[in-house]
Chains A and B, each alone.
Chain A
Amino acid sequence: MNKIFGNPDRSLVAKLIIAIGVLMVIVSFIFWYAILQKQQQDIRSIAVKYGDSFLAFIKQSTHYSMLTLDSAKTQEAVEHLSSPDVIKEVNIYDHGGTIHFSSSEERISSTVVKTSLACTACHEDPEKSSALLNERMRWNVTKDPQGVSSLSLVSVIENEKDCYTARCHVHPQNQKIIGFIKADFSLGLLDVALHKQKEALSLYVAIFVIIVSLFVGFIIYTMITRPIRVLIAGMEKIAGGDLDHSVPITSGDEMGVLARSFNAMIKDLKEARDQREKWTQTLEEEVARKTEEIRKTHTSLVQTEKLASLGRMAAGVAHEINNPLTGVITFAHLLRDRFPDKSQEVDDLNVIIEQSERCSKIISNLLTFARATPSEKGSCDINEVLSRTVFMLKNQEKFHHIKFDVDMDEAQFIVFGDASQFQQIFLNMFINAADAMEKRGKITVATRRVKEKGKDFVEIEFSDEGCGIKEEDMSKLFEPFFTTKPIGKGTGLGLSVSHGIVKHFGGTLKVESTVGKGTSFFVRLPLSETHQ
C-alpha cells in the first residue's frame, strides 16, 4: 500500500485520493443527512397517521358512553386503551381545557395551560379564541430528560347530531366543538430503529468511501503512477549513462505516446553519443598515428645525423687508407710474380692480396655510406642525375654483365634537394639490384609523374630480376645495419640512408617484391612547385 500511496507530499496518487476522499465524505454526509431527515419525517407522518387512527378509535370507543353520560365507562375505556410503553397518556378535554377523562386518573379535573399543544393546535393565541389557525398544528414531538422522544397528538371532538340530541342536553346545537382529545405516544422504538439505521448508513457510507477511494487509487496507480515510475526509472538509468535502456510501451494512450517519445529521444541521444565516441576514437587514433610518425621521423633523423657524422669521419680515414693499401696490393703482386707458381710464398702473398682487397671493399662501403652527409641543396633534374649515374655505372666492373632498360619520361622533373644525395640513393638501388641478380640480368629504370594527396611527385622505379626479398625481411629492410649480403659485402646502411634522404626531402620509398622473381623499388620525390 505504501508503495502505491507513498508520501502525500510527493505522491500524486495520495494527493488525488485524499482529494477524492474528502469530496466523497462531504457529498456522502450531505446525502446521509438528507436521507435521515427524510426518513424521520416519513416516520413521523406515519406515526401521526397511526396516532390519528388511534384517536379516532378512542372517539369511537367512548362515543356511546359519552352519549349515555356514563363517565365511569368512558374513564375505563380511556384507561384500557392506553399502555405505558407506547401510549403514555390519553386525555379528553372539554372546550375550556379541563380534563374530564385521563389515562392518569390524578389529572382529571385539572385544566391545561393555554400554551400547551392542546390549545395551540388550533389557536394562534389561546386568549383570542376566535383567531383560529388555517392549518392546525395538531401534533408536536418532545423529548423527555432520558432522551426518549414522544409524539403528542390532538384531535378535535366536533359537535354531532347525536350529541346535541342526547338526553343529557349538555351541549347546545350551536356549539361547534365540544372538546378535544390528546394522546402522548412514545417514539422510543422508532428512535431506536432510526438510530440503528443511522449507524448502518454511516457504516455503508464509510465502506463506500473507502472502496471508491481504493478503486480510484488502484486505477490511478496502474494507469498513471506505474508508467510514470517506469519512465522515472528509465530517466535515472539514462542519467547514469545507460543509453541502451528503453521503456516498455504497454498502452496506446498518452502514457504510451510519452514512452514512445522518450524511447525515440534516447535513441537519438545514443546515436549522438556513439557518433561522438567514434569521433573521439578516430581523433585518438589519428593522434597516436601522428605521434608514432613523429617518433619514427625523429628516430630516423637522429639516426641519419649520427650516421652522417660517423660517415664524415670514415670518409676522411678511408681516403688516407686507400693510398697505403694501393702500395700493399701492388707490391704483393710484384713479389708474387717472383716466385714459382704453387709455391708457399705465392699462397701467402695471395692471402695478403685478398685481405687487402677486403680492406678496400670495407673502405668502399664506408665511403658509400659517408655520402649521406648533408651537402648543398638546390634544384636537381632527376632525369639528369639518373642518367649520369647510369652512365657512370656502365663502366663499373660490377655492372659489366647487366643490361640497363631505361625508360625516362621526356618531361623535366625538377626536385629541390642535394643532387649528390639523390645520386647516392640511385647508386644504392643499382648496387642492391646488381647484388640481387648476382651481377647478371636486366635492371629497369623508369621515371614518371604521379599525384599523391593532391601533390605532384616524380616516381623513379628500379626493378631487377633478382632473388627477391623474403616476407620476414620486409619490415627490417630500412633498418640501419640490416643486410642479407655476405659478411664484408654490405654495411646494411644503403637502404636506411636512402630512406632517410628520401624522407628528408618529403618523399617516400616503397618496395614490392616476389621471391625468385625480382624486386621493384619506387622512390617518390616531391616536384619543386615552381617547376610543376
Chain B
Amino acid sequence: MKKILIIDDEQIIRTSCERTLAPKGYAVTSAASGAEGLALLEKEPFSVVLLDFKMPDMDGMEVLKKIQASSSSAKVIIITGYSNVDTAVRALRSGAYNYIEKPFTPDKILSAVKEAIDDLEEK
C-alpha cells in the first residue's frame, strides 16, 4: 500500500485529501505544519507528499528544500493558489514533481498522485 503524506495547515484540505485517497487504497497520513510533516518523513518513508505552499510556520519552499536535502525519495506535489503560479514554477525548478491549484477536485488529486506513483514505479 502506497503511503501518502499531506502537509497542510488547513483542516479541510487535509480531510479532503484523506477522504479522496483512502477509499482508493492509499495509506494517508496528515501533518498540520511543515515541521510536523518533516518529522513524519524522517520516521517513515512516503511515496508521495502533498505539500501546501502557504503555511504559517514554515514556507512550503523551505519544506520542499528540506525534503530534497533529506534521504526521502518521496515525490512532492505542491498545492497552491492560482495567483502563486510564479512560486509554483520556482518549486518545480527546485525539484517538485507537480503542482495542483486550489480549489481542486478529487479527480485532479487522484490523477496527480497516480501519475507520481507510476513515475516512481517506472524507476
Taking the closest CB of chain B, its distance from the CB of A354, in whole angstroms, is 11
Tell me the complex Cα distance, A267–B106, Å: 88
Taking the closest CB of chain B, its distance from the CB of A393, in whole angstroms, is 9
Q: Report A-chain residues with C-beta under 8 Å of the C-beta of B15.
A: 327
In the complex with contacts A324-B12, A327-B16, A364-B82, A333-B106 CB distance below 8 A: yes
List CB contacts (< 8 Å) of A193-245 with chain B.
none
A322 interfacial contact with B, CB 8 Å: yes
Tell me the complex Cα distance, A197–B20, Å: 153
Stretch at the interface among B27-35, B57-65, B97-105: B97-105
- Interface extent on A, as a size class? 20 to 34
The answer to whether A322 and B103 have CB atoms under 8 Å apart is yes
The total of Cβ contacts below 8 Å across the A-B interface reads 72
Q: Report B-chain residues with C-beta under 8 Å of the C-beta of A423.
A: 86
The answer to whether A323 and B88 have CB atoms under 8 Å apart is no
Smallest CB gap from A391: residue in B: B89
Q: Please tell me which one of the listed residues B10, B12, B16, B83 contacts residue A370 in the complex, with CB atoms under 8 A apart.
A: B83
Q: Please tell me which one of the listed residues A325, A388, A420 contacts residue B103 in the complex, with CB atoms under 8 A apart.
A: A325
A319 interfacial contact with B, CB 8 Å: yes
The answer to whether B16 and A331 have CB atoms under 8 Å apart is yes
Q: Please tell me which one of the listed residues A329, A334, A370 contacts residue B104 in the complex, with CB atoms under 8 A apart.
A: A329
A392 interfacial contact with B, CB 8 Å: yes
Tell me the complex Cα distance, A516–B86, Å: 33
Q: Please tell me which one of the listed residues A334, A356, A392 contacts residue B85 in the complex, with CB atoms under 8 A apart.
A: A392
A509 interfacial contact with B, CB 8 Å: no
B3 interfacial contact with A, CB 8 Å: no
Q: Report A-chain residues with C-beta under 8 Å of the C-beta of B12.
A: 323-324, 326-327
Q: Report B-chain residues with C-beta under 8 Å of the C-beta of A360.
A: 103
The answer to whether B102 and A326 have CB atoms under 8 Å apart is yes
Q: Report B-chain residues with C-beta under 8 Å of the C-beta of A367.
A: 81-83
A149 interfacial contact with B, CB 8 Å: no
The answer to whether A334 and B86 have CB atoms under 8 Å apart is no
Smallest CB gap from B79: residue in A: A326
Tell me the complex Cα distance, A364–B80, Å: 12
A528 interfacial contact with B, CB 8 Å: no
Tell me the complex Cα distance, A333–B24, Å: 14
The answer to whether A420 and B82 have CB atoms under 8 Å apart is no
Q: A318-349, CB under 8 A of B: which get 1 and which 0? A: 11001111111111011000000000000000
Taking the closest CB of chain A, its distance from the CB of B30, in whole angstroms, is 14
Q: Please tell me which one of the listed residues B81, B83, B88 contacts residue A392 in the complex, with CB atoms under 8 A apart.
A: B88
Q: Report A-chain residues with C-beta under 8 Å of the C-beta of B10.
A: 323
Smallest CB gap from A420: residue in B: B86
The answer to whether B16 and A330 have CB atoms under 8 Å apart is yes
Tell me the complex Cα distance, A102–B78, Å: 177
B19 interfacial contact with A, CB 8 Å: yes
Taking the closest CB of chain B, its distance from the CB of A302, in whole angstroms, is 24
Tell me the complex Cα distance, A326–B99, Å: 15
The answer to whether A363 and B88 have CB atoms under 8 Å apart is no
Smallest CB gap from A367: residue in B: B83
B41 interfacial contact with A, CB 8 Å: no
In the complex with contacts A325-B103, A329-B104, A388-B89, A334-B83 CB distance below 8 A: no
Taking the closest CB of chain A, its distance from the CB of B112, in whole angstroms, is 11
Tell me the complex Cα distance, A315–B54, Å: 14
Q: Report A-chain residues with C-beta under 8 Å of the C-beta of B117.
A: none
Q: Which residues of A contact B (CB under 8 A)?
A: 315, 318-319, 322-331, 333-334, 353, 356-357, 360, 363-364, 367-368, 370-371, 388, 391-392, 395, 420, 423
Known: A330-B106, A367-B81. 19 other contacts (CB 8 A): A323-B13, A327-B12, A327-B13, A327-B16, A330-B17, A331-B16, A331-B19, A333-B105, A333-B107, A334-B19, A353-B105, A357-B103, A360-B103, A388-B89, A391-B89, A392-B85, A392-B86, A392-B88, A420-B86
A-B contact pairs, 8 of them (CB 8 A): A322-B103, A323-B12, A327-B15, A330-B20, A331-B16, A368-B82, A370-B83, A392-B89
